Every structure is written in C-alpha cells, then in structure tokens.
C-alpha cells in the first residue's frame, strides 16, 4: 500500500474537548481511526501525526518531500500566518491536500486567508472529519 502522511497542527490533539460546537465531540483518537480505515479502503497506508510545534510540522513536511509521500495536512492556526510552513509545502514532491474540519471562510475574518492554499494541490474544508476522508480519496486518485 502506498503511504500517506496525515499531519495535524496545533490544538487538534484536543479534539472532543476544544470548542465542540465548532469541531464536534469526536476525539483525535477517533480521527486517527477514521483516517487509517478510510486510507485502507482506497489502498493507502495512513500515518497520522499531530503536533503543536511549528518546527516539528515543518520537519515532517521535509520528510514527506524527501520520501515523495503524499500528505493530508490540517495546518490549523498555522494556516493563516506561517510562511515557514508555506515554504515547506512548496517543496513537496507528491500531492498535498489542505484540510479543515470547519469552514474557515464562514468563521472569523482572520481565518479567511490561507497562506498555504496556493502551494497545496487542493483544499477541502467544512465537512467535519469527512474532510479527511475526501482528501484521502482525492490522493488515492492521484499519482504520487
């Protein structure tokens, strides 16, 4: 099975606790299980990671680029201001789909701009955890 990294940025490890009215009541562990199962169904092997550390997330993106591994990325708050993350994504060597559980365009104005979207293959947002499933299906349909 072709590997795919499912990378998650700050505060996503607190799913189920953090703003359940926005992000739902499912936990990060629920997300990990869903991603692994959805990946298997489309012939991928998902490695799911989460960090609150921008440098660690950038290192994982470099690793994916070096190994030519596709990525599903929820950059979380880094979406709106991390040019370092954007530059790491620009080095990608395989598809990368930006995902969001909520729809940033329907939220606070500061969330309306993604500095990473222009260097991603595409963006899926607003479908809850299903955003990840859709992204994994999209990656399965693309060549690495």
- How far is the CA of 103 from the CAs of 41, 57, 71, 81, 107, in angstroms? 26, 22, 20, 17, 7
CA dihedral sign of residues 6, 49, 116, 110: positive
**80 known member of a binding site:** yes
112 labeled part of a ligand binding site: no
Q: What span, in angstroms and rounded, lies between the C-alpha atoms of 94 and 77?
A: 23
Query: Distance between CA 14 and CA 127 in Å, rounded?
Result: 18
Q: Do the annotations mark residue 101 as ligand-binding? A: yes
Asked if residue 62 belongs to a known ligand binding site, the reply is no
Residues annotated as catalytic are 23, 100
- Residue 93 to residues 2, 41, 65, 100, Cα–Cα distance (Å): 15, 24, 5, 22
2 annotated binding-site participant? no
> Exposed, middle or buried, 109 (CB in 10 Å: 0-12/13-18/19+)?
exposed
Residues annotated in the binding site for substrate, as ranges? 74, 80, 87, 101-102, 111
């Amino acid at each position: 099975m072709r590997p795919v990294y499912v990378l998650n940025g700050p505060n996503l490890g607190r799913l189920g606790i953090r703003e359940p009215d926005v992000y739902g009541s499912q936990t990060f562990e629920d997300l990990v299980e869903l991603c692994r199962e959805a990946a298997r169904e489309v012939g991928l092997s998902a490695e799911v990671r989460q960090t609150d550390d921008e440098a660690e997330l950038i290192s994982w993106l470099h690793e994916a680029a070096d190994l030519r591994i596709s990525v599903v990325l929820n950059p979380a708050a880094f979406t709106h201001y991390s040019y370092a993350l954007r530059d790491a994504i620009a080095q990608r060597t395989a598809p990368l789909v930006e995902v969001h559980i909520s729809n940033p365009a329907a939220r606070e104005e500061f969330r309306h701009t993604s500095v990473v979207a222009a260097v991603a293959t595409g963006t899926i947002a607003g479908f809850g955890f299903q955003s990840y499933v859709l992204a994994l299906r999209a990656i399965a349909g693309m060549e690495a």
